[in-house]
């Protein structure tokens, strides 16, 4: 079987421009979100159990994302009236109001983002794109249809990306790293003089000149 070639943005690429219909009306993405971080995520289909749990989980953390100047945008290839009815169902049955827009995409948009899983029909995979205020793709995650996402991890990496832009790299499991807890890592020295001065600088903590860290501001 031959599959259609999938093109998708890579880390550091511009998020593809698209004019889309959403549950909040027509949007131009990423233009309408300029100056904000946003999480653009796809789900296989409306009115499915795993997707419903994901949307409730995203909504429960919606205010936490917005405190980080970060918006949420959902997407699948369902038509917009299906999205609207599903959102109504979630509010009526689960008492959760979905406040972020859901894009009614077509196959062309889904393929542009690599969201159609070859051999899985027209359902979109569980893709996550985290995009910065300049429209650059900063992180990509892909989950199979059978596995629901961890929204706390998505929230964590938005925080971590913002910190890494201004303070330094973050360690594994941040902010609960086994070695340095919530501290940030100082970029390694790029010359011998800097390396040797770090070993002598009593204000810098670390294991060696290439592994120094500092408190989170």
The whole-angstrom separation of Cα 200 and Cα 206 is: 12
Q: What is the dihedral of CA 193, 199, 204, 205, to 10 degrees?
A: 140
Closest alpha carbon to 124 in 140, 100, 108: 108
**What are the CA-CA distances from residue 67 to residues 63, 129, 159, 160 (Å)?**
6, 19, 10, 14
The single residue of 51, 109, 115, 180 carrying the catalytic annotation is 51
212 is an active site residue: no
Which residue do the tokens 């910190």 mark?
163
**What three-state secondary structure class fits 200?**
helix
β-strand pairing of 102-104 with 70-76: parallel
- Encoding tokens for residue 53? 């749990």
Measured over the CA atoms of residue 39, residue 135, residue 162 and residue 171, the dihedral's sign is positive
CA separation for the pair 87, 140 (Å, rounded): 26
- Active site positions, annotated: 51
């Amino acid at each position: 079987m031959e599959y259609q070639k999938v093109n998708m943005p890579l880390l550091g690429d511009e998020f593809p421009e698209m004019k889309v219909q959403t549950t909040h009306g027509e949007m131009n993405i990423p233009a309408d979100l300029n100056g904000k971080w946003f999480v653009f995520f796809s789900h296989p289909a409306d009115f499915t159990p795993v997707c419903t749990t994901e949307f409730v989980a995203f909504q429960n953390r919606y205010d936490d994302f917005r405190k980080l100047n970060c918006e949420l945008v959902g997407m699948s290839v369902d038509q917009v009236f299906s999205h609207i009815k599903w959102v109504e169902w979630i509010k009526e049955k689960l008492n959760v109001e979905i406040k972020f827009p859901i894009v009614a995409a077509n196959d062309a948009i889904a393929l542009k983002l690599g969201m159609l899983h070859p051999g899985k029909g027209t359902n979109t995979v569980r893709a996550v794109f985290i995009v910065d205020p300049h429209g650059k793709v900063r992180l990509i995650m892909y989950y199979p249809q059978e596995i629901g996402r961890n929204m706390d991890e998505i929230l964590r990496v938005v925080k971590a990306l913002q910190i890494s832009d201004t303070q330094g790299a973050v360690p594994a499991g941040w902010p609960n790293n086994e070695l340095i807890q919530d501290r940030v890592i100082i970029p390694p020295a790029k010359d011998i003089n800097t390396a040797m001065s770090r070993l002598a600088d009593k204000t810098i903590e670390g294991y060696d000149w290439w592994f120094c860290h500092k408190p989170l501001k």
